[in-house]
Amino acid sequence: MRALGGLVLDLLGLAVEVTLRLPGLLWRLAVGAYDFLGARWALRGGALHCPDGHELPLEGEFECAACGYRYRGSALLCGNVECRAITPYLNCACGLSVRNPYRWGRP
């Protein structure tokens, strides 16, 4: 009989823990979905757009700000296998910056 009481208390504790953690989990899932959809929208047409509407190509020749390596490829990830730095933002010719949509989470 005593073992049954311990099982009931364990199950009750589990139910309380799940109830308290569920809202946080749902919130994290909602924020992740929002960030994912925002990234997909930001990359419409295969390029980023600055707030003034100028198109920023994602493929081309770039120089990594972290290691100075010049490469041809994605603007969002350094082509140097020893560096692999992720670009936090891209600068437009008009002087405005655009956040990297693949860096999820709150800025």
Q: Where are the domains of the chain?
A: 2-99
CB 90 within 8 A of CB 48: yes
Quick one: pLDDT band at residue 36, thresholds 50, 70, 90? confident
Neighbouring residues of 39: CB distance < 8 A, sequence distance ≥ 6: 101, 102, 104
Residue 96 backbone dihedrals phi, psi, to 5 degrees: -85, 155
Does the structure show a pLDDT above 60 at 33?
yes
> Given the structure tokens 């295969």, which residue do they identify?
46
Supply 5's token pair. Answer: 């009481």
Distance CA 15, CA 10 (A): 9
Quick one: pLDDT band at residue 94, thresholds 50, 70, 90? very high
